């Protein structure tokens, strides 16, 4: 795998809830929106039973791993999510495709923590605050972004989406001091005193200032000297 210390990716993460907003059939990033006012019973995020995975790509390879959620909560009323907020530990980022004892692990980890990417010394955490949740309608479909084709072309949103999504979720994601709203489909189950949710979607890392190796700046993409701006996130979340 080429230049492991140059492959930028991350995370960013997200979770769920219910409020208002008109969903459309695409994963999207927009300006920050008003946070939903929580109503109902508060549930605590089960950090040991929740997994936020990331995968980043460049034509010559890809890396994947996790970023832990350190705390969070959801509010539920009448079996519907009405609010929530979560905090993630950027310094706790893990890389799963390189053995921890391999020197390339330390190189990539250090590069991701550096000002080239997360700038973790100044921004050690990321947060997600729910702004809206709407039902996923039977006629909704996921619109995929066209990507530059290579051996490691990023996965499409339609490939990452759970098999039977139930809701469109929107929330403000803050990383590196920048807040953007992200919207994605999720499969959410609310039962007595517990919530489980699964989601998979892409974000454009440069929207949060993680612009090292920006593919838009590549003069000749055929030379493979860039990192895809697309980062895939996969969430498996539980609160009780």
Domain ranges of the chain: 4-239
- What is the pLDDT at residue 4? 45
Out of 2.40.128.110, 2.40.110.10, 3.40.50.2020, 1.25.40.10, select the CATH number for domain 4-239: 2.40.128.110
* Confidence label for 25 from pLDDT (cuts 50, 70 and 90): low
DSSP-derived letter for residue 120 is T
Asked whether the predicted pLDDT for residue 28 surpasses 80, the reply is yes
Per-residue tokens: 27: 């994963």
- Give the pLDDT confidence of 185-219 residue by residue, as tens digits: 999 999 888 999 999 999 999 999 999 999 999 98
- What is the pLDDT at residue 39? 85
Selection from 59, 36, 14, 53 nearest residue 188 by Cα: 14
pTM for the whole thing?
0.86
Task: Specify the 3-state DSSP secondary structure of 110.
Answer: helix
């Amino acid at each position: 795998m080429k230049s492991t210390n140059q492959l930028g990716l991350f995370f960013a993460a997200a979770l769920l809830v219910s409020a208002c907003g008109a969903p459309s059939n695409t994963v999207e990033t927009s300006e920050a929106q008003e946070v939903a006012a929580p109503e109902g019973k508060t549930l605590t995020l089960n950090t040991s039973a929740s997994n936020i995975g990331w995968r980043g790509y460049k034509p010559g390879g890809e890396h994947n791993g996790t970023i832990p959620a350190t705390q969070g909560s959801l509010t539920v009323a009448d079996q519907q999510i009405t609010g929530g907020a979560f905090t993630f530990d950027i310094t706790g980022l893990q890389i799963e495709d390189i053995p921890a004892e391999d020197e390339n692990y330390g190189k990539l980890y250090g590069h991701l923590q550096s000002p080239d990417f997360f700038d973790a010394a100044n921004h050690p955490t990321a947060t997600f605050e729910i702004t809206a949740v709407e039902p996923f309608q039977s006629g909704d479909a996921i619109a995929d972004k066209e990507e530059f084709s290579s051996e490691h072309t990023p996965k499409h949103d339609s490939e990452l989406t759970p098999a039977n999504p139930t809701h469109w979720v929107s929330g403000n994601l803050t990383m590196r001091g920048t807040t953007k709203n992200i919207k994605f489909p999720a499969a959410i189950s609310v039962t007595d005193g517990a919530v489980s949710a699964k989601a998979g979607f892409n974000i454009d890392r440069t929207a949060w200032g993680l612009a090292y190796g920006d593919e838009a700046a590549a003069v000749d993409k055929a030379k493979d000297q860039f990192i895809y701006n697309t980062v895939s996130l996969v969430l498996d979340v539980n609160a009780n």
